[in-house]
Amino acid sequence: MVRLQEIRANEVAVEPPAATDAGLVFIGRIRTPWTSRLECPRQGRRDGPTCRIEIFEPWSPALAGIEAFEQLEVLYWLDQSRRDLVLQSPKNDGTTRGTFALRSPVRPNPIGTSLVSFVAREGATVLVRGLDCLDGTPLIDLKPDRCQFTPLAPPQPGDFQVGD
Ligand code: SAM
């Protein structure tokens, strides 16, 4: 059962420190069919519905070349999550695991990631399959899947390395 804001048996919440501004800028918005966490998939599926990643200005020129990649990594901000649980009970059966041993949306910095299939680009919008977030979820970043982003030749001294 999807958690909303409740505390389940044996879960532990802490008083988090005051939030600081990490300087994140939301660069877009994700449009999906899901408006409720009760209907949202727990992980995206490549045969799931096509979703739209809308890039805000002035960032649309940063999409140049994205069509070359079949797989993309999407990073998003799970903005409706609580952020204070250190122990969670995903099955609501009294057994718990630490937040960092889970992919739960409930975490101190609620960043979600999905590997998705590129479908098409329509101007400043990228169509993909494989997402699992609510309609309107803020976008943090979009990048080629690291498995596809490999150098064509072995690196030479002085070359930039993958990840630079
Ligand atoms: N694939 C990502 C990951 O592994 O980092 C997210 C996985 S998380 C288990 C996906 C769940 O987060 C969804 O089933 C939904 O319950 C919840 N969720 C989706 N969008 C959200 C949002 N904007 N705010 C809070 N929770 C969200």
Contact 131, 46 (CB under 8 A): no
| pLDDT (tens digit per residue) in 84-137 | 999 999 999 999 999 999 999 999 999 999 999 999 999 999 999 999 999 999
H helix runs in the chain, sequence order: none
Out of 1, 34, 78, give the residue to mutate to test ligand 1, the one with the largest number of ligand atoms within 8 Å of its CB: 78
Q: Which residue has the CA at smallest separation from atom 19 of ligand 1?
A: 133
**For position 155, what pLDDT does the model report?**
66
- Indicate the fold that domain 23-148 takes in CATH: Elongation Factor Tu (Ef-tu); domain 3 (2.40.30)
- Using CA atoms, how far apart are residues 103 and 68, in angstroms rounded to an integer? 29
CA-based radius of gyration for the chain: 18
Q: Which residue's alpha carbon is nearest to atom 13 within ligand 1?
A: 42
Other CB atoms closer than 10 Å to residue 109's CB: what's the count?
A: 11
pTM as predicted:
0.89
| Sign of the dihedral defined by the CA atoms of residues 49, 144, 59, 121, in that order | negative
Pocket test for ligand 1, best of 75, 134, 137, 139 (most atoms within 8 A of CB): 134
pLDDT (0 to 100) of residue 28: 98
Residue with tokens 């390395």: 161
Structure tokens at 82: 């609580």
CA–centroid distance, residue 151 to ligand 1 (Å): 32
pLDDT band at residue 5, thresholds of 50, 70 and 90?
confident
Average the pLDDT over each of 48-52, 60-64, 112-116, 157-161 and give the range with the smallest value: 157-161
Q: What is the pLDDT of residue 21?
A: 86
The pLDDT value given to residue 147: 79
**What pLDDT does residue 80 have?**
97
Going by alpha carbons, the residue nearest to atom 18 of ligand 1 is 133
Instruction: Flag whether pLDDT at 45 surpasses 90.
Output: yes
